Amino acid sequence: MKLAILAGAVAAVTLASPALAQEDRTAGGKFIAGAIVGLDSVETEFDGISESEEDVVLGLTAGYDYETESGIVFGIEAEYTDSSVGVSATDFDVPGDRVSVNAGRDLYVGGRLGFRPGRNGILYVKAGYTDASIEGEYDDGTGEISDEVSFGGVRLGAGGEIDLSSNYAIRLEYRYSDYGNLELFGTDTGLGVSRNQGIITLLGKF
């Protein structure tokens, strides 16, 4: 998924750069805000065995970008997304038991660094901190218990941005988030949680 998204972003920016019309000067600072839609794939891994499940992710983003005269872009951004992805694993503690993990809201704050290969496009990388809310359920065959926790991780991403006009743009982006091991009921379950996302963002720039 990530290779297809990155290749699509590079191709879109490269092809769009000479074709779209906008103001000649792009340097300076702008506030940005936008709506996010994409595919969310949450993966759990335990004892070398991994499972994943995909669903739609929706959200909002806001931030600030500054572009130099040479076309280097520096940005900061915050993001709120929500997903209904759920994954489960069996036999992770005792034979026949089952643990399920359901993703909830995800908060992100981080930075972007990019460059403008043409007048109407930007290629960029990003990194930051992500805090996910996850609900866990455990059933050992004698009863079920549940817990909801939030825990942090690191997000890395890359993508392309195409200017639709001087005040609007669209992004195609891949990002990977690693949350480490899931802790439920005050115990480290040893269940590693990560997610891959491919998203499209429609941005306004002001």
Tokens of 156: 């890395």
d(CA 34, CA 12): 19
* pTM, two decimal places: 0.77
Contact 18, 181 (CB under 8 A): no
Q: Encode pLDDT of 123-158 as tens digits.
A: 999 999 999 887 777 777 777 777 777 888 999 999
Q: What is the mean pLDDT of residues 80-89?
A: 81
- CA 37 to centroid of chain Cα atoms: 10
Angle at 59 between CA 58 and CA 61, to 5 degrees: 150
Counted residue by residue, the chain has a size of 206
Domain that holds residue 124: 2-205
CATH, residue 34: 2.40.160.20
**Residue 22 confidence (pLDDT) above 80:** no
Which pLDDT band, with edges at 50, 70 and 90, does 111 fall under?
A: very high
Stronger pLDDT, 13 or 55, i.e. the higher one? 55
Tokens of 129: 């901190």
Q: Which residues of 118-152 are buried (b: 16+ CB within 10 A; e: fewer)?
A: bbbbbbbebebebebebebbbbeeeeeeeeeeeee
Q: Which amino acid is at 63?
A: G
**Residue 81 confidence (pLDDT) above 90:** yes
Pick the closest to residue 168 from 123, 127, 126, 205 (CA basis): 205
**Residue 184 confidence (pLDDT) above 90:** no
- CA 55 to centroid of chain Cα atoms: 13
Q: What is the mean pLDDT of residues 167-191?
A: 83
Which pLDDT band, with edges at 50, 70 and 90, does 20 fall under?
A: very low
Q: Give how many domains the chain has, as a whole number.
A: 1
Any alpha helices (H) in the chain, and if so which ranges?
Answer: 2-16
Contact 115, 123 (CB under 8 A): yes
What residues form DSSP beta bridges with 93?
A: none
Cα torsion angle, 88, 180, 190, 182, sign: negative
Stronger pLDDT, 35 or 91, i.e. the higher one? 35
